[in-house]
A and B are shown apart, each in its own frame.
Chain A
């Protein structure tokens, strides 16, 4: 079952004024439950507008033609709006700037209270949420959120969303402004949350290394349009497209390109550092064993590797990208994550 189903979604800010700006153009997107989806795109590419549609903070401008359906609920439907918001937990950028209560426990309880839960259940959820994000309940519950360190504040803010036990968790740049240790901890936390609380996770990020590492599927936006959609390997395969979208390649991918250009034989679909280290290690071992046995042959094994990101792939990919803007019913031709339609 797909958790999110978006069709024909477009959005224009300040329509019919001199400041008119098209933020989204004909977005079609369906996300399976259990997916870890990364949304990437340069600043102003429509990422925030897109995610705010998921819980009805922004409503589709044309209800007849466009639709956003989350867990069977239309985001345009006023009756289910509240329920929708509790099912889609949204952690905005710098969420610590939205803390407001005088104690951590009260702040985390804000969501569950709005859900009109029983007091016992609220307490249980607050306790659980704090523990999941790694804050000791007894130590933190009665402290003022304003006295905490930056990293702790962010955890409290995330706990405030987790306490609603959302089925889908959306995070906008969750590690922005944190130091390296803080980044690692929060990313590990997000993974843990997917396992324990919200099976579907959507992250908006500029950090391609993180995305390559964590996401099952990446959607790349440019000027409000989806220009690439698939596994990290597939999305980062099309270097030109990623560059045109104003994005970086993962460090591992650009290093791979650099090494290939210097004559090192590597598959060109490497996206994580671990993978690059593994491939280089394997290449070294092969080389050593080859030179040991003096056995030179055409490296058949490399053609196999190329399969991930060969030239034919690129062509298909670009074609898909180009058709995008014009055709409205290219749903079949479109390129989706590997784990779709299975």
Chain B
């Protein structure tokens, strides 16, 4: 049922991308995600894909590990695609059979939507694949530092995040164990209607919750025993220092973002012309 938990799993190799400052990576990921919503043309998508590919190669990640995280949202992608494909009625009609109408605009919107989602998730997963949960939490804590002034418990929030990420694999493993045990007592999870399926999950969810509380309790003891919250002057073993790589990364992504913006607002015909040159009549 939960065979692989790719999303959120740090992929431990030493690469320039792994070495980047977590804060820089966080901000650049946000910029990248935002950029995706400014894209209109296939040229834009190709450029984005190229940027992503270059980053994956620099990060020395197997492409498969990135695609795996996309697999997790395939259902959402499929549903979005179907909605777009069948419900957009404008434009030249390609297929018409009874109530089903598929238009050229529908096809293009669908393709772009799928591309957008895939690029979005790939980009976001790059962050978690190349950044350890602790770095991520530290980065977030540092970026949110100004909020401390208004009494937001920034450090606790960061800690909660990092622990949540740390326990994802443990909880998935536990879920699989419980599922196996209940199946061994004749439980089935894949038959019946929605309601009976939800009900069938109770024998899994209840022990999972009970065990998670027990784990949380024990973890709290372990953290207390190791002096969590002993002092406000908590130190850090890993000092984040901005380096040349960070500058290069900022320039790279900022440059890419500028091209996307220029293409959209100042040279709207360039992208479209490139699209036409490549795809011609398909558009």
* Chains A and B belong together in one complex: yes
Indicate whether A160 reaches chain B with its CB closer than 8 angstroms: yes
Residues of B within 8 Å of A97, CB to CB, are 178, 207, 210-211
Q: Do A52 and B180 touch (CB < 8 A)? A: yes
Indicate whether B237 reaches chain A with its CB closer than 8 angstroms: no
Number of B interface residues in the complex (CB < 8 A) = 21
- What 1/0 mask marks residues of chain A from 159 to 190 whose CB sits below 8 Å from any chain B CB? 01100100000000000000000000000000
Q: Do A98 and B181 touch (CB < 8 A)? A: yes
Residues of A within 8 Å of B186, CB to CB, are 82, 85-86, 110-111, 114-115, 164
B214 — nearest CB in chain A belongs to which residue?
Answer: A97
Residues of A within 8 Å of B182, CB to CB, are 98, 110
- What 1/0 mask marks residues of chain B from 34 to 50 whose CB sits below 8 Å from any chain A CB? 00000000000000000
Residues of A within 8 Å of B188, CB to CB, are 82, 114
Residues of B within 8 Å of A161, CB to CB, are 184-185
Residues of A within 8 Å of B75, CB to CB, are none
Indicate whether B203 reaches chain A with its CB closer than 8 angstroms: yes
> In the complex, what distance in Å separates the CA atom of A80 from the CA atom of B203?
23
Q: Do A114 and B187 touch (CB < 8 A)? A: yes
Indicate whether B62 reaches chain A with its CB closer than 8 angstroms: yes
Q: A98-B181, A114-B185 are in contact. Are A18 and B62 (CB under 8 A)?
A: yes
> In the complex, what distance in Å separates the CA atom of A88 from the CA atom of B184?
8
In chain B, residues 1-40, which have Cβ atoms closer than 8 Å to a Cβ of chain A?
4
Indicate whether B71 reaches chain A with its CB closer than 8 angstroms: no
Indicate whether A284 reaches chain B with its CB closer than 8 angstroms: no
Q: Do A57 and B180 touch (CB < 8 A)? A: yes
In chain A, residues 75-121, which have Cβ atoms closer than 8 Å to a Cβ of chain B?
82, 85-86, 88-90, 92, 95, 97-100, 110-111, 114-115
A115 — nearest CB in chain B belongs to which residue?
Answer: B186
A146 — nearest CB in chain B belongs to which residue?
Answer: B210
Q: Which of A17, A90, A100, A115 contacts B184 (CB 8 A)?
A: A90
Q: Do A98 and B64 touch (CB < 8 A)? A: no
In chain B, residues 147-198, which have Cβ atoms closer than 8 Å to a Cβ of chain A?
177-178, 180-188
> In the complex, what distance in Å separates the CA atom of A9 from the CA atom of B178?
25
Residues of A within 8 Å of B181, CB to CB, are 90, 92, 95, 98
Q: A18-B62, A92-B177, A110-B203 are in contact. Are A57 and B184 (CB under 8 A)?
A: yes
A94 — nearest CB in chain B belongs to which residue?
Answer: B177
B68 — nearest CB in chain A belongs to which residue?
Answer: A17
Indicate whether B79 reaches chain A with its CB closer than 8 angstroms: no
> In the complex, what distance in Å separates the CA atom of A88 from the CA atom of B186?
11
> In the complex, what distance in Å separates the CA atom of A17 from the CA atom of B11?
14
Indicate whether A55 reaches chain B with its CB closer than 8 angstroms: yes
> In the complex, what distance in Å separates the CA atom of A164 from the CA atom of B182?
13
> In the complex, what distance in Å separates the CA atom of A52 from the CA atom of B203?
19
Residues of B within 8 Å of A160, CB to CB, are 185
> In the complex, what distance in Å separates the CA atom of A100 from the CA atom of B185?
13
> In the complex, what distance in Å separates the CA atom of A124 from the CA atom of B228?
52
Q: Do B183 and A98 touch (CB < 8 A)? A: no
For residue A276, give the distance in angstroms from its CB to the closest CB of chain B: 38
Indicate whether B230 reaches chain A with its CB closer than 8 angstroms: no
Residues of A within 8 Å of B207, CB to CB, are 97-100
> In the complex, what distance in Å separates the CA atom of A35 from the CA atom of B126?
53
Residues of A within 8 Å of B177, CB to CB, are 92, 98
Indicate whether B95 reaches chain A with its CB closer than 8 angstroms: no
> In the complex, what distance in Å separates the CA atom of A85 from the CA atom of B67?
36
> In the complex, what distance in Å separates the CA atom of A110 from the CA atom of B62?
44
A163 — nearest CB in chain B belongs to which residue?
Answer: B185
> In the complex, what distance in Å separates the CA atom of A86 from the CA atom of B183?
10
> In the complex, what distance in Å separates the CA atom of A89 from the CA atom of B186?
10
A96 — nearest CB in chain B belongs to which residue?
Answer: B207
For residue B68, give the distance in angstroms from its CB to the closest CB of chain A: 9
Indicate whether B202 reaches chain A with its CB closer than 8 angstroms: yes
Residues of A within 8 Å of B185, CB to CB, are 85, 110-111, 114, 160-161, 164
Most buried by A among B186, B188, B206: B186
> In the complex, what distance in Å separates the CA atom of A110 from the CA atom of B206?
14
B174 — nearest CB in chain A belongs to which residue?
Answer: A97
Residues of B within 8 Å of A18, CB to CB, are 62
Residues of B within 8 Å of A99, CB to CB, are 207
For residue A214, give the distance in angstroms from its CB to the closest CB of chain B: 22
Q: A86-B186, A111-B185, A160-B185 are in contact. Are A100 and B180 (CB under 8 A)?
A: no
> In the complex, what distance in Å separates the CA atom of A164 from the CA atom of B185?
8
B181 — nearest CB in chain A belongs to which residue?
Answer: A98
> In the complex, what distance in Å separates the CA atom of A17 from the CA atom of B67?
13
Residues of B within 8 Å of A90, CB to CB, are 181, 184
> In the complex, what distance in Å separates the CA atom of A285 from the CA atom of B185?
54
For residue B273, give the distance in angstroms from its CB to the closest CB of chain A: 42
> In the complex, what distance in Å separates the CA atom of A85 from the CA atom of B183?
8
In chain B, residues 47-77, which have Cβ atoms closer than 8 Å to a Cβ of chain A?
62, 64
Residue contacts A-B, CB under 8 angstroms, 18 given: A82-B186, A85-B186, A90-B181, A92-B184, A97-B178, A98-B177, A98-B178, A98-B182, A98-B203, A100-B203, A100-B204, A100-B210, A110-B182, A110-B203, A111-B186, A114-B187, A161-B184, A161-B185
Chain B contact residues, CB within 8 Å of chain A? 4, 62, 64, 177-178, 180-188, 202-204, 206-207, 210-211
Chain A contact residues, CB within 8 Å of chain B? 14, 17-18, 52, 55, 57, 82, 85-86, 88-90, 92, 95, 97-100, 110-111, 114-115, 146, 160-161, 164
Which 8 A-B residue pairs are closest in the complex by CB-CB distance?
A: A114-B186, A100-B206, A90-B184, A111-B185, A98-B181, A100-B203, A92-B181, A100-B207
- Besides A97-B211, A110-B203, 13 other A-B contacts (C-beta < 8 A): A52-B180, A85-B184, A88-B184, A95-B181, A98-B177, A98-B178, A98-B203, A99-B207, A100-B203, A100-B204, A114-B185, A114-B188, A146-B210
